[in-house]
Each structure stands twice: as structure tokens, then as C-alpha cells.
Amino acid sequence: MRSSLCSWLLLFGCALAPVTQAVAQAAVTEAQAKAGFVLNFARYVEWPERAFSAREAPVLLCLLGRDEVAAALAALDGRQVQGRPIAIRRLANSDEARSCQVLFIAESEARRLALTLRAVAGQPVLTVSDADGFIDAGGAIGIVRSEGRLQFEINRLALEQAQLKASSNLLRLARNLADFKGRN
Amino acid sequence: MLPFARAIAIRLNLLVTACGLCTPLLAEEPAAADASAAVDMSLEDLLNVEITSAARKSQRLNDVAAAVFVITREDIERSGATSIPEALRLAPGVNVARLANNRWAVSVRGFNSRFSNKLLVLMDGRSMYSQLFSGVLWEVEDTLLEDIERIEVIRGPGAAMWGANAVNGVINIITRRARDTQGNLLVAGAGSEESAFASFRHGGTAGDGHYRVWGKAFSRDESVTPEGHTANDYWRAGRAGFRGDWTMGGGHRLTVSGQAYYGPSGDTWQVPDIRSPAGVTLTDVRQTAQGGFLLARNEWTLQGGSEAAVQAYVAAGELEVAGQFKEQRTTVDLDFQHRILLGERHDLIWGLGYRYSRDDISSGGMISIQPQKQGFSLASAFIQDEITLLPDTLRLLLGLRLEDNSFSGFAPLPNARMIWTPSVNQSLWGSASRALRVPSRAELGAQVDGSVIPPRSPINPTPLPILITNFPNERDLGNETLTAYEVGYRHQFAPALSADVALFYNLYDDLRGQTTGTPRLVLAPPPPYILQPVFPGDSLKARTYGVEIAVDWSPLPWWRIQPIYSYLDLHAWSKTGDPGSLLRAAQLNDGDPQHQWSLRSSMTLSERQQFDLWLRHVGKLGDPGSPMYVPAYTTLDLRYAWRPTRDLEVSLVGQNLLDGQHPESVASLLPSRNLEIQRGYYLKAKWQF
């Protein structure tokens, strides 16, 4: 029995031998990566002109709920997208969301998802969340985790109803659309 | 009765239940200084970033007022487990004992046996609980492991939410959405105990939705007897299934799924025999399980923002042990659930359910089940209000379920829970609840030959053999009841370190014991013997208490360590002096390990390589000399996985490496021989294309 165990451990040892060094992880947290996704969504989605009050009006990125993703998003304040600066606004409730261009709903707000989405229905608001099943609930873009990586899903019907146009690049990379295969 | 359990489970139990309170754990953490590095990445680059975050799971759990442990798909993959019961070893408070290569005994917080009857198991809202034995036949229920999104293991009574039989726990198996399983997947492998296995899945789009179809087949090797002889516990099974998810007009979301299976498995029974000098005849039996189910669920949002769901399923199956019994069963189940947010304080869920199950059981040999055909109906209604007493700090959950079933009648199942979140990274919860187990079809109608005491032996000095036979109860058999008290505490010490502790104190009454009847002489047909009847009765009481601890720690970004520990103290006693009842109480007292621990280490050595280690210890059952005695064992599983390309993974897994063979439990109810589990290894390839 013992010798058999030893040969086992040896076998695993050999398998590990070529591993010279454990991989060094890039210092990107999940929250930062999600913020990176949101910034990219803001770059690749076109709003109708009426969504903005003035030519130089900022892109209003509203945050509902508080978690580390919302904290990472707050760091986007002042960045430029589509020739406009990003302005961050933290919301206390969904009633204030109608004037936003991007609405990020933190997972902590998932229980009020239906109410929140109803509050912005028909408005040119890009809704984004990492809550479970976000696009099923009627959200526009959901950030999901799979195999240790982040991906995103697009609800084209929701974009259409919000009069938003997503670039083909964005649609091409969405996990649930186009030619995505495997990876799950 | 599990109303849209899949869809609702995580939201009810992990998010919804939680979120009134939850200012998430890490809210106060400032965004890291180098955040700009991530936000300036392109979408293509972001899609390739590897995310390691041990904190995530506990973060979502922080607001749940129950002892919940979530086993993720990644956990299952990295454990090397090849079946659902093996994967359940990952959770604290769960006792998984492998009786043979095709049979398991799985329980939560005590009373373990092959037909552990105090545990409710659901897959996507469909009950896997067998009406015949009141337990789960783990060799019958299965799915493609790669399709499992997560397994929620809820320790403690869940009866107010999930219905009767959710006495000691609820296991909720949730499969992935069809759109998460697009493309093709091929898994194949072979090994010493896992002789050969293969699975295939194809996912595609259909209209406004997605679907997948899958199939799997395997053949397992036999285990061994304590003497090292090959046993007769082969197992082969084939299974195919599908799932489709569609978004319909008006915000309706439709899910349809189904499965068909066929699987023969072997066993050797020690059939009581009055003609045999030893009192038993070893008989090889062949069990065949076949059947399938079809499930549909619709969820939608009503005007005003409340959410509703309706689910229906039909399941039909046949379970045959050749020469002993054949059960044919058809079950229809219908559920409705509605969730309303009332103001800022009340989160209300109510629902209705109905189930009807009809069987046709033919029996022979040592088993006789009467009447041959019987129906079982169960109607239920429940309501749960989650009240926010102090925003972000204190919540109260009150729940009540009313059930009426055709076996044991009407019963109320109340539940109260409270959770206090003094800070964003810790929570303290407590609960008091009542649950019950409904008698099974077999307890109410089965006559089973239990054992033979040969003549002129120490306990039978007479010249005739004594046949002990279990008869169904002459009067109505009631429910087993539980009153349970629990407290739990969770703390997120740092983003990479969290701990979860739960304590419980359970009081059981009317547990199934035995009443010994009057012996009588049976002369015809010859040979003559003494018949000693025993009847099931509600003559036992029990008290359990224990603690479960789970720690999740990532000392390095690529290394995760998960120790768990479970302690259980079970004391059962008889309310009567009946010898049968005393014996049954002694069996319960020896049926569970007092200590269990396991340590898992998961190393992501590089983007292409993983190395996983899993050390497990299970304490002894009973004491030497007890018929239930099983020595303590410690064992080790190792897994090494290599990805030559992103879509292909090859893994080598070694299981039970610390000994050549060991026993994990003894047979109960059915007279199987005691077998031992062997060291095993397998090689597996997984290809996505």
C-alpha cells in the first residue's frame, strides 16, 4: 500500500516538475476589470442626441448600490468618452435614474431589479449590472463570470427599447451573440 | 414543493434575503490606485483577464440567515469528483459515505443511511426525493456534471420554504442556463475505478433563445469485500437530456428541460433464509433504473414590479430489483410563486403547490408491498415576509407553510429567522424552526424479511429458526418532527480570508423505532419456523447538537486553501422498553461520525496548469464490537490538470490514495453486503469546440 502511494506522489511530482514558477497574476481585481468593461460599453454604445441636454453635456454614469465595483467605477470620473467627460453620480434610489446615460446596478441592488428597470423603461439609459441573470430580468448588458474570466451578455431587445445602438464590435464579443463558441 | 427553485433559489436565499441589509462587504475599500490599468484595457484584453477572487462567494453569502455553503462548478471540477454525492463531500456538515461503487449514504447533521430520509434534494426545482423509501437514490439521479452551475447546501430545516422532508437540510442543484453552454463539449476518460466515461453536449440558438442537448454514459468497476474479493457492484448508466431557455413577449421567460435515463447496477444481498444453516443465502441481484422527466417553468414581471413564476413537471420512472420488487411511478407537480416588495420594509413571497404521485409496485421474494397501487397527494401553501427592522443592520424573516398530504394529514411548518449585520464584513444570525418528515410508502406498506436467527444458537436455543419480519404498521404512522435552533456567524477578515461558523441544537420526536410483536409458530408450508413480527412505531426521540466551520483563504493570488470541520453529537433513545426500539436507538447512536474535517488546496500554477489536493478525515462510526462499527479513515485525492490549448484540458486524478481499500459505512435497510472503497485513478480529457 505504502509503496503504491509513494509511486503516486512521485507521479504527481513529475507532472509538476516542469513548472518552474507559479504564474504571477496581473494586478487587476475583478472590480477593476468590471469597471473597465463599463467604460468600454460607454465607448461602443451610441445614444440618441436627445439623451443629452447640451452639446458638451457629460455622459452621466449613475451608480445604484454600493460595492467594490461601484467604488472602482467612481474612479472613472472625468474620463472622456465620445468627446464627452464622464460624470459619476451615486443614486439613493431608482427614481433618479431617468436622466442617466449609463446606470450601473450593483449586485446588492439585485432584489429591486424589476422595479429599477421599470423606472428607466423607454428612456435612453444603458443599464449594466453583474447581478445574476441580469439580461433575463430585462437589463441591457450583464457582466458574467465564467472559467475564471469575465464575459458580457447583451440583451438586444432592451437596447432597442432604450433607442441605443451598439457597435458591431461590441455585439461580436458578447458571449450570447454572434459567433461565440465554447469557453464554458 | 419547490417553487421555481432554480431561478429563485439564489435570489431568495443568497441575494434577496440578503440585500435589504447588505451594504456589501468591501464597500469601504478604496478603489486600488492602479485601477486605470484595467479601465484602459480594450474589450478583447479584458475578456482574457484571469480573475481570482475567493472573496466573492462569501460576500454573497454574508447576508443569508441560514447555514448555506455553495459548491460551484469550479469546485466540482477541481475536486475530481465524478458524481453528485462525491461532490457533496465538499460542504461542511454533510456526511457522505460510499457504501459501494454504485451506492451512497448522504446526510446532513446526522442520521446517515442509504435512505437518509431527513434531507430534501432538488434539481432545478424538481424533487429527487423517492416516495417509496423517503430518501434519494443517488445511483438513479444524475446529470452532466459540467452543466451544474452550483450546488447550494442549506444545513438546518428549510421546511417553511421548501416543504416537509426538508428536516436536516436542503440540497439545491442548479444547472446552467442554456446560453451559458453554447458550442460543443466532449469529455472522455478512463481509469481503474472509473472504467470508462464519456459525455457530449451541444448548445445552439433557437428563435429568441438558446438550447442544449447532451448525453453521457459510463461504466464503473466493482469495489471489494473486506477480504479483498471483487464485489458485484458494477454500474453502467446512459442518460440524455436537454434544456432550452426563451425570452417571450411581455417579459415572460420560459425554461423547458427534460431527461431520460437507463442504468443497470449490481448488488449482492444476504437474503434471510430459514433453510440455510447460517440464516442467509447470498444472492446476486440486478437493479435496473429507467425513466425520465419533463419540466417547464415560466417567470415574468407583473405590472407594478412584482415577480411571478409558475412551474410544472412530470416524472415517470421504473425501479426494478429483479426477483424482489418493481416500482413504477408517475409524479405530476405544479407550483406557483409570487414575490412582492411592499414599501421599503417588506419583501413578501407566497406560493401554492400541488403534487400527485401514483405508483404500481409488484413485489416478491423477501419483500411484499401492499397495496400494489397507491396514490399520494400533497397540497401546500406558504408565505414568507422578510422585514427590514433597521436598514442595513437588522432583518427579521417570518415564514409559515401549511401542508396537507394523503399519508399523514395536515401540518403547519413555521420558521423565524433574524440576521444582524453590525458591519459590512460580518453578520450574526439565528433561527428557530419546525420541520417534519412524512412516512414513506415502504414504511406504510412494506413487509420485509429482516433476518433469520438459526436454531440452537446463543440467542435462539429452540430447535426452530426464528424469522424476524418487518410488517407495516397496523395503525396510522405519524410524522417525525424536529424543533431546531441555530445560530451562525460569518466574518470577512480580509478580501482573501473569510470564515463561517454555525451552531445548532435539534430536538427530534416520534422518530421511527420498532415495536416487537408476539412470536408465533408457522408450520406450513414446511419447514416450520418461529415468526417474530416487528412493526415500525414512532417510539424514538433524539437530540443533536454540533458546530460546522468553513474557512476560505487565498494566501497568494494563485493559491486557495479551504479547510472545513464538522462536529456532531447525536443521542437517540427509546420512549419504550421495547427491544426492537432499543436496538434501533443504538443503531442511530452509532450511525454518524462525531468529527469530520477536510482540507482543500487549489493551486493555479500557470494559465495552463492546475494542481489540487484534497485531504479528508471521517471519524469512526460506533465502537469496536458494535455491528455499526466503521473505523475512522483519512484519505487524499490529487488532481493535476494541463491545458495544451485554451479549449482542451487533460487531467489526471488520484482518489482515496492513502490506503488500498477502506469501509465508509455499513449496509442498512436492504441486506447488502458491507463493501470497501478502493484507491483509484483516472485520466480525463475535456474538449470544447
pLDDT in tens, B313-365: 999 999 999 989 999 999 999 999 999 988 888 989 999 999 999 999 999 88
Q: What is the pLDDT of residue A7?
A: 53
Q: What is the pLDDT of residue B60?
A: 59
pLDDT greater than 90 at residue B81: yes
HSE at residue B143, side-chain half, CA atoms within 13 A, is 25
Q: Can you tell me which residue has the cell 421511527?
A: B512
For the segment A33-58, the average pLDDT, to the nearest whole number, is: 90
pLDDT greater than 90 at residue B159: no
Q: Show residues of chain B in contact with A132, CB under 8 Å.
A: 10-11, 15
Question: Which among B343, B253, B511 has a CA at the least distance from the CA of A137?
Answer: B253
Pick from B27, B40, B176: which is nearest to A71 by CB?
B27
The shortest C-alpha distance from A111 to chain B (Å) reads: 5
CB contact under 8 A, B605 and A8: no
The shortest C-alpha distance from B607 to chain A (Å) reads: 7
Name the DSSP letter for residue B179.
G
For the segment B171-200, the average pLDDT, to the nearest whole number, is: 94
Pick the residue with more confidence: B667 or B482? B482
Is pTM beyond 0.90? Reply is no
pLDDT greater than 60 at residue B7: no
Q: What is the pLDDT of residue B344?
A: 80
Residue B6: pLDDT band (50, 70, 90) is very low
State the virtual CA torsion across A118, A122, A124, A128 in degrees, nearest 10.
Answer: 30
CB contact under 8 A, A182 and B607: no
Pick the residue with more confidence: A9 or A38? A38
pLDDT greater than 90 at residue B155: yes
CB contact under 8 A, A75 and B47: no
Q: Show residues of chain A in contact with B40, CB under 8 Å.
A: 36
Nearest CA in chain B to A179: B183
Q: Is A22 on the interface with B (CB under 8 A)?
A: yes
Q: How are beta strands B183-191 and B196-206 bridged, if at all?
A: antiparallel
Residue B186: pLDDT band (50, 70, 90) is very high
Residue A94: pLDDT band (50, 70, 90) is confident
Q: Tell me which of B35-49, B423-437, B660-674 is least confident.
A: B35-49
Nearest CA in chain A to B347: A111
Query: Across all residues in chain B, what is the average pLDDT?
Result: 88
Which amino acid is located at B129 in the chain?
Answer: Y
Substitution target from A5, A16, A28 for chain B, most B beta carbons within 10 A: A28
pLDDT greater than 50 at residue B201: yes
Is B618:B612 a contact under the CB 8 Å cutoff?
A: no
Q: What is the pLDDT of residue A183?
A: 44
Q: Can you tell me which residue has the cell 414504511?
A: B443
Substitution target from B46, B395, B421, B658 for chain A, most A beta carbons within 10 A: B46
CB contact under 8 A, A76 and B39: yes
CB contact under 8 A, A184 and B181: yes
Residue B61: pLDDT band (50, 70, 90) is low
The shortest C-alpha distance from B683 to chain A (Å) reads: 13
Q: What is the pLDDT of residue B19?
A: 29
Q: What is the pLDDT of residue B50?
A: 74
pLDDT greater than 50 at residue A20: no
Q: What is the pLDDT of residue B17?
A: 30
CB contact under 8 A, A181 and B182: yes
Q: What is the pLDDT of residue B607?
A: 82
The shortest C-alpha distance from A60 to chain B (Å) reads: 17
C-alpha cell of B361? 409496485
Q: Is A96 on the interface with B (CB under 8 A)?
A: no
pLDDT greater than 60 at residue B470: yes
Residue B35: pLDDT band (50, 70, 90) is very low
The shortest C-alpha distance from A55 to chain B (Å) reads: 25
Q: Is A52 on the interface with B (CB under 8 A)?
A: no
Q: Is A173 on the interface with B (CB under 8 A)?
A: yes
CB contact under 8 A, A182 and B176: no
Q: Show residues of chain B in contact with A106, CB under 8 Å.
A: 24
pLDDT greater than 90 at residue B117: no
Phi-psi region of B10 (alpha: psi -120 to 50; beta: other; left: phi over 0): alpha
Residue B579: C-alpha distances to residues B143, B334, B349 (Å): 43, 44, 47
Q: What is the pLDDT of residues B512-560, one digit of tens each?
A: 998 899 999 999 888 899 999 999 888 999 999 999 999 999 898 889 9
The whole-angstrom separation of Cα B159 and Cα B685 is 41
Nearest CA in chain A to B302: A114
Nearest CA in chain B to A116: B305
Residue B687: C-alpha distances to residues A79, A184, B184, B550, B639 (Å): 42, 10, 8, 33, 18
As a whole-number percent, the residues of chain B with pLDDT over 90 amount to 69
pLDDT greater than 90 at residue B495: no
Question: Which among B321, B317, B350 has a CA at the least distance from the CA of B331?
Answer: B317
Residue A133: pLDDT band (50, 70, 90) is confident
The shortest C-alpha distance from B402 to chain A (Å) reads: 26
Task: Report chain A's terminal Cα–Cα distance, integer Å.
Answer: 39
109-128 in chain A: CB under 8 A from chain B: 109-112, 114-115, 118
C-alpha cell of A167? 457597435
Which parts of B303-345 are beta strand (E)?
307-321, 325-342
Pick the residue with more confidence: A145 or B507? B507
Query: Across all residues in chain A, what is the average pLDDT?
Result: 80
C-alpha cell of B354? 400541488
Residue B28: pLDDT band (50, 70, 90) is very low
Q: Show residues of chain A in contact with B609, CB under 8 Å.
A: 19
CB contact under 8 A, B50 and A149: yes
CB contact under 8 A, A71 and B50: no
Residue B379: pLDDT band (50, 70, 90) is very high
Q: Is A32 on the interface with B (CB under 8 A)?
A: yes
Residue B52: pLDDT band (50, 70, 90) is low
For the segment B564-583, the average pLDDT, to the nearest whole number, is: 94
CB contact under 8 A, B27 and A115: no
The shortest C-alpha distance from A182 to chain B (Å) reads: 5
Q: What is the pLDDT of residues B118-150, one digit of tens each?
A: 999 999 999 998 888 888 999 899 999 999 999
Q: Show residues of chain B in contact with A72, CB under 8 Å.
A: 31-32, 35, 38-39
Nearest CA in chain A to B186: A182
The whole-angstrom separation of Cα B567 and Cα B597 is 9
Pick from A75, A133, A183: which is nearest to B31 by CB?
A75
The whole-angstrom separation of Cα B42 and Cα B30 is 23
CB contact under 8 A, B660 and A1: yes
CB contact under 8 A, B27 and A151: no
Helix H segments across B183-240?
none
CB contact under 8 A, A111 and B19: yes
Is B484:B157 a contact under the CB 8 Å cutoff?
A: yes
C-alpha cell of B290? 429507467
For the segment A116-121, the average pLDDT, to the nearest whole number, is: 88
Q: What is the pLDDT of residue B200?
A: 97
Is B392:B472 a contact under the CB 8 Å cutoff?
A: no
Kindly report the length of chain B.
689
CB contact under 8 A, A32 and B180: no
The whole-angstrom separation of Cα B298 and Cα A132 is 17
Query: How many contacts, defined by CB atoms under 8 Å, are there between A and B?
Result: 221
Substitution target from B47, B210, B647 for chain A, most A beta carbons within 10 A: B47
Q: What is the pLDDT of residue A115?
A: 83
Nearest CA in chain B to A150: B47
